[in-house]
Amino acid sequence: MTDVRRVAVVGLGKVGELVAVLLGRAGFTVVGYDARTRSDLAFEAHALEVTDAEALRAALSGAHGEVDAVVACLPYDLNIVVAEAAHATGTHYFDLTEDVPTTARVMELATLPSDAGAAAFVPQCGLAPGLIGIVGSSLAARFSEIRSIELKVGALPQNPTGLLGYAFNWSAEGVVNEYLNDCEVIRSGVRRMVPAMSEPERVVLDGTELEADLTSGGLGTMCQTYEGRVRRLDYKTLRYPGHFAQMRFLFDELGLRDRRAEVGAMLVDAKPPVNDDLVYLHASVEGVMDGLPHRENHVRRWLPLEIDGRVWRAISWTTAASAVAAVELLAQGTLPATGFVRQEDISLADLYATTSGRLFVEEEEKVV
C-alpha cells in the first residue's frame, strides 16, 4: 500500500471537477485549485494562479492541509509547472497530457533526486494516451509474437452537423496540437516520426462509417516500449468522413499552421461543445497466439453518464475515470510508488477492478 489519502486537483474545468468527484467516491479527501474562486463545489477548493510556482509549491506542501498526490487537469502547456512543483515537494504526480515535450520533462523529473523524497510520476492518464495504451498492451500480452498494434479513439458528437462533423468537447488547443505535430510510429520494427494526418483510413463500426488518421501524442511511451518487438504500431483519431480533408484545407490551403491559438479559438466558436457526445475506442493486435496467426479486436462505445445526479459528457467521464483509476492503483500499491510509470505497464484487469475503472465495464457498449 502507498499512503495516498489527500489528493489535489489542479484545474477544475469539466474534466477536473469530475476527477475530484470520482476521487471522493473512491475514498480520497480532495482539495481543488483553479484560477477562479469556486463556491459551487461539494469539496474544498481554493483560487490559485498555476503559473505562480511558489504558490503552487506552497499548496502541495500543505498550505491547505497535507497533500499526498496531485492530478493536473490543465491545458498541455501548463502541466510542466505542476510536475516541477510535485518533484520539489515529493508529491505523487498524475496528468492527462498528450503533449510529447511535456511528458519528456516529466520523465526527466522522475529520474532526478528531490530533497522532499521520491514520488511516482504517472502522466498521460486520459483516454489517448492512457486507456487506449492499457487496452492495447493488455491485448498484446496474450500473443507469443506481435506483428502489429493499431490503436484508435474518437470523441464525437452523436448528431454531427456541417462538413467538419465535430464539436470541440475537448481542449481546442490540444486538438490543434495533435493535428499539427509529427507523430511517432513504429514501421518495420523501428521508431519513426511521420506527419500528422498523412495516413487516412476508412473504418466501419457497427454500421457507422468513420475515418481515421494519424495524430500526435496518443501512443504516449508505447513506441519506446515496443520498438524491436512489433513491426507496426500507430495511433489514429476517429472522425466522421470528410473531417480531415477540411482540417488540411484549413491548415495548408489557408496557411494557418503557424496560428494555432487563433485557429483553436475560431474552431470552438464555430463548433462549440455538445452534451450528446460519444466515445469510441478501437484496439487491434495481430500476431501469433497458440501457434496460429490471430487478430484480436477490442472495440467499445461509451455515452454520457449520470454520476451523483449530474449527467457528464462521455469524453469527460471516460477521461476522468481513467485518471482516477490510476490514482487508486497507486494507493493500493499496484503501481510503483517511485519513478516514472508508463501507461502500458498498467493491467486492464487491474484498472477495471478499481472503483472508477468499473464504470467502463458497467457502461460499455461492445461494437461489432
Do both 280 and 332 map to the same domain?
no
Cell of 39: 463556491
Which sign, positive or negative, has the C-alpha torsion 72, 73, 74, 75?
positive
Do both 160 and 114 map to the same domain?
no
Do both 154 and 102 map to the same domain?
no
Cell of 119: 514520488
Residue 1 belongs to a domain: no
Residue 117 belongs to a domain: yes
Do both 96 and 163 map to the same domain?
no
Contact between 315 and 169 (Cβ < 8 Å): yes
Do both 294 and 341 map to the same domain?
no
Domain range enclosing 27: 6-126+317-366
Residue 49: CB atoms within 10 Å: 11
Do both 144 and 193 map to the same domain?
yes
Do both 153 and 265 map to the same domain?
yes
As a whole number of Å, the CA-based R_g of the chain is: 20
User: Residue 11: CB partners within 8 Å, gap ≥ 6?
Assistant: 33, 34, 50, 72, 73, 74, 78
- Number of domains composing the chain: 2
Question: Which pTM was predicted?
Answer: 0.95
Residue 180: CB atoms within 10 Å: 19
Residue 30 belongs to a domain: yes
Burial (0-12, 13-18, 19+ Cβ within 10 Å), 214: buried
**pLDDT score, position 64:** 78
C-alpha dihedral, 354 to 19 to 116 to 44, nearest 10°: -120
Do both 17 and 59 map to the same domain?
yes
CATH of the domain at 172: 3.30.360.10
Contact between 7 and 29 (Cβ < 8 Å): yes
Residue 66: CB atoms within 10 Å: 13
pLDDT digit string (tens) for the chain, length 368 residues: 678 999 999 999 989 999 999 999 999 999 999 999 888 898 999 999 999 999 999 999 987 788 999 999 998 889 999 999 999 999 999 999 888 899 999 999 999 999 888 899 999 999 999 999 999 999 999 999 999 999 999 999 999 999 999 999 888 888 899 999 999 999 999 999 999 999 999 999 989 999 999 999 999 999 999 999 999 999 999 999 999 999 999 999 999 999 999 999 999 999 999 999 999 999 999 999 999 999 999 999 999 999 999 999 999 999 999 999 999 999 999 999 999 999 999 999 999 999 999 999 998 777 75
**pLDDT score, position 368:** 52
Find residue 301's DSSP bridge partners: 280, 365
Residue 192 belongs to a domain: yes
End-of-domain residue from the set 312, 337, 354: 312
Do both 254 and 326 map to the same domain?
no
Which sign, positive or negative, has the C-alpha torsion 141, 94, 102, 256?
positive
Do both 83 and 141 map to the same domain?
no
Do both 280 and 141 map to the same domain?
yes
Residue 229 belongs to a domain: yes
Do both 172 and 287 map to the same domain?
yes
**pLDDT score, position 325:** 98
**pLDDT score, position 6:** 96
CATH of the domain at 38: 3.40.50.720
